Amino acid sequence: MSVRVVIGTQWGDEGKGKIVDYLCKDVDLVVRFQGGSNAGHTVKIGKKVYRFHLLPSGVIRGKIGVIANGVVVDPEVLIDEIERLRSENIEPKLMVSDRANVVMIYHKLLDGAEEEYLGRKRIGTTRRGIGPCYSDKVARRGIRVGDLLDEDVLREKMELILPVKRELMKVYGVDFDLDIEDLTRRYLEYGEKIREFVKDTSYELNKAVREGKEILLEGAQGVMLDVDFGTYPYTTSSNTVAGNACTGSGISPRYIDEIIGVVKSYTTRVGGGPFPTELRDDIGKHLQMKGGEFGTTTGRARRCGWLDLVVVRHACTICGIDGLALTKLDVLDGLRKVKICVGYEYGGEVLDRFPSDLRILENLKPVYEEFDGWRMTKKARTFEDLPKEARDYVRFIEEFLEIPINIISVGAEREETITL
Ligand code: IMP
């Protein structure tokens, strides 16, 4: 048996979907433990491309998907994804935690309203209601999945919460005339549609651990979007670090066997906030086009830049990463030179760790190591098949981080993967 965690080590979009899909082969349960429908997983199987926001990617492969307590669940999205799978004759094996908080319509409206209010200082959220929902969870004003199954409980909560939300909407100048009765009915209907999946997932997961099942905990977003360790406030509203795999699922740290970090061979980020190695030139554009760097959730173009190992080391330290999966190496194919950031120059010093101060982050200068480019990695199926320059690039990353790279991805297809 083993319990493994997969974490994104940058700003999300590292290609975790493909890696989780690859690792899923021998897994019994795939678990999401944080985030919500702000995430976007793209999995390509044959000619078919599957895009999900809430369902764990393993569900397409017939694995048991678990949406655990740490996730914020938008029932509209969940029902839509279940129906999409059913229309392809895939009956999802799914468990949704009764403790997970529900993303309500007012959370989505407030997400948009807060962004408008922030103007130039906006976070650039996905507007999926994530921040307002987690805020309510922590303020103990949340509606949980279990509440959708009980009319009295839901109505009582709505009566308490909605008048306050109405006032808040007025502050933001948003028209909000949703009726308590209508909303209660709407969410009870959602509850009925997902009732069969609602479980005490922490109980089920601990039973699975005792029975020696293979469990994969699938992180969403990346460490630099973690609300504590990322580029706050330009982060998401959950903890994306490995530690939250335990809190967000109810599995004790005692049972985690392996933590895998996913690193994209360059860096991207969507939305606002500091990005030290961002390239606003032709190379950045090239990475964006060749890497297909457009958001799965919002369609926004992702900002692109060189690989930043100060970022990745920060993520690996906090998460205790055991091994790495390096993705999208093929996107660097054909460049004459490639660079890796190994430190930050600021105030006449070279910083070797990721600062928390936004003013420093916005004014530092990355220190780069330069490498010769290579022609093609896409066809490589073993490490030795890679051009020497690409091997040097990979080895440098390993040596710098002192963590082995166990998987290299050179394309979106499952077979375009090298294991070491
Ligand atoms: P929120 O999670 O929608 O509140 O957005 C907060 C920040 O996290 C924004 O910069 C988003 O673009 C970013 N973000 C949220 N989810 C993802 C993701 O799955 N990939 C990349 N960025 C994300």
Q: Which residue has the tokens 């529900």?
A: 102
CA of 230 to the centre of ligand 1 (A): 12
> Which atom of ligand 1 has the smallest separation from the CA of 38?
16
Q: Give Cβ neighbours of residue 55 (< 8 Å, ≥ 6 apart).
A: 65, 67, 78, 81, 82, 85, 92, 94
The maximal CA–CA distance of the chain, rounded, in angstroms, is 66
Q: Please state, rounded to an integer, the average pLDDT across all residues of the chain.
A: 95
58 pLDDT higher than 90:
no
> Which atom of ligand 1 has the smallest separation from the CA of 39?
19
CA of 203 to the centre of ligand 1 (A): 30
248 closest CA partner among 44, 384, 71: 71
Strand ranges (E), 173-227 = 198-199, 214-218
The fold of 2-83+202-419 is Adenylosuccinate Synthetase; Chain A, domain 3 (3.90.170)
Q: Is 22 or 251 the better-scoring residue by pLDDT? A: 251
**CA distance linking residue 118 with residue 415, whole number of Å:** 45
CA of 6 to the centre of ligand 1 (A): 18
Tell me if 194 CB under 6 Å of ligand 1. Answer: no
Residue with CA at minimum distance from ligand 1 atom 8: 236
91 pLDDT higher than 80:
yes
Give pTM, 2 decimals: 0.96
Tell me if 230 CB under 6 Å of ligand 1. Answer: no
CA of 38 to the centre of ligand 1 (A): 6
CATH class of 101-197: mainly alpha
Q: What is the distance, to the nearest Å, from the Cα of residue 247 to the centroid of all Cα atoms in its chain?
A: 16
Task: Identify residue 337 by its one-letter amino acid code.
Answer: K
CA of 125 to the centre of ligand 1 (A): 6
61 closest CA partner among 88, 25, 100: 25
> Which atom of ligand 1 has the smallest separation from the CA of 238?
2
Tell me if 130 CB under 6 Å of ligand 1. Answer: yes
Give me the percent of the chain exceeding a pLDDT of 90: 88
Q: Per-residue pLDDT tens for 161-198?
A: 999 999 999 999 988 888 999 999 999 999 999 999 99
Tell me if 225 CB under 6 Å of ligand 1. Answer: yes
45 pLDDT higher than 80:
no
| Ligand 1 pocket, mutate which of 34, 72, 236 (most atoms under 8 A from CB) | 236
| Ligand 1 pocket, mutate which of 32, 74, 126 (most atoms under 8 A from CB) | 126
The predicted pLDDT at position 256 comes to: 98
Q: Distances in Å between the alpha carbon of 406 and those of 19, 261, 263, 325?
A: 11, 10, 11, 6
The predicted pLDDT at position 46 comes to: 76
1 pLDDT higher than 70:
no
Q: Please identify every residue annotated as catalytic.
A: 13, 41
Q: Which of 38-52, 240-254, 356-370, 386-400 has the weakest average pLDDT? A: 38-52
Give me the percent of the chain exceeding a pLDDT of 70: 100
Tell me if 108 CB under 6 Å of ligand 1. Answer: no
**CA distance linking residue 139 with residue 119, whole number of Å:** 25
Contacts of 360-365 with CB under 8 Å at 24 or more apart are 361/231, 361/274, 361/276, 362/274, 364/276
Cα separation of the two ends of the chain: 22
CA of 232 to the centre of ligand 1 (A): 12
Q: What residue spans in the chain does CATH classification 1.10.300.10 cover?
A: 101-197
Q: What residue spans in the chain does CATH classification 3.90.170.10 cover?
A: 2-83+202-419
